[in-house]
Chain A
């Protein structure tokens, strides 16, 4: 079974709809991240969380919100989707190993979101 899972894998929606993307992990990591990937732009950080009570904005948080329901779950919401939010969305996790924090991140398979 995959360590980091994302649901749904694909979603087509209409402008103005509320959308939630979910991420779960079994790695026991405390840190979780949401990125979006656009062709030619690489990955851009939307939000990140270091534990259940810690949420931080990333580079492009406008138009998005997140919820850290548990250590293993981190969801991303688009309150009112717009076409320029069409992208590939990735969840990632990281955690310390033997006390060494090296920020290596482990990625989910991605969610392809299309907003019409």
Chain B
């Protein structure tokens, strides 16, 4: 069965510094990959997704993630974080043809002034 591992439960980073949130999934079959963001006291919002094509996908607010099939990873990166990026980030994966998506346990991003 598919599973998702987010290696870091919390990541503190200074404002304007770069950040990487790590995500690995277990199965190497064809997959769809997602990053969702949950701002304080809100529901989850889709940040970006990989369905097919280019392995590098980008969001409108400067995040990007790269699908690496050989390493079964989909790490999320941003070159310079802002205080408004404070949130919990969830990696999720869906096997092609499956009806559900599996979520990781989340990584809480703390932006330090």
A residues neighboring B (CB under 8 Å): 31, 33, 35, 40-45, 48, 50, 58, 90, 92, 100, 102-110
Given contacts A43-B103, A48-B99, A50-B99, contact A103 B43 (CB under 8 A): no
As a 0/1 sequence over residues 70 to 109 of chain B, the CB contacts with chain A under 8 angstroms (1 = contact) are 0000000000000000000010001000111101111000
Collect the chain A residues with CB atoms within 8 Å of residue B106's CB: 40, 42
Q: Which residues does chain B contribute within 8 Å of A44, judged by CB atoms?
A: 103
| A residues in contact with B32, CB < 8 Å | 102-103
> What band does the interface of chain B fall in when counting residues whose beta carbon is under 8 Å from A?
20 to 34
Chain A positions within 8 Å of B100 at CB level:
33, 45, 48, 58, 103
Residues of B17-66 contacting chain A, CB below 8 A? 32, 34, 36, 42-46, 49, 51
State in angstroms the CA–CA spacing of A31 and B90 once bound together. Answer: 21
Contact for A107 among B43, B49, B94, B98, CB less than 8 A? B43
Chain A residues near B90: list those with CB within 8 A: 42-43
Closest to A92 in B: B44
Is the pair B44, A107 in contact by a Cβ cutoff of 8 Å? Answer: yes
Q: Contacts of B44 on A, CB cut-off 8 Å? A: 43, 90, 92, 107
The answer on a CB contact under 8 Å between A40 and B9 is yes
- Interface residues of chain B, those whose CB is within 8 Å of chain A, are 9, 32, 34, 36, 42-46, 49, 51, 90, 94, 98-101, 103-106
Given A42-B90, A43-B90, A48-B99: A109 in contact with B104 (beta carbons within 8 A): no
Docked Cα-Cα span, A24 to B42, in Å, equals 17
A-B contact list, 7 entries, CB within 8 Å: A33-B100, A41-B105, A42-B90, A42-B106, A103-B100, A103-B101, A109-B43
* Nearest CB of chain A from residue B32's CB, rounded to whole Å: 6
Task: Tell me if B99 and A110 are in contact (CB < 8 A).
Answer: no
Shortest A113–chain B CB gap in Å is 15
User: Using Cβ atoms and an 8 Å threshold, which residues of chain B touch A92?
Assistant: 44
Question: Are the CB atoms of B46 and A104 closer together than 8 Å?
Answer: yes
Distance, CA A2 to CA B112, complexed state (A)? 32
Our pick among B36, B43, B49, B104 for the contact of A102 (Cβ within 8 Å) is: B49
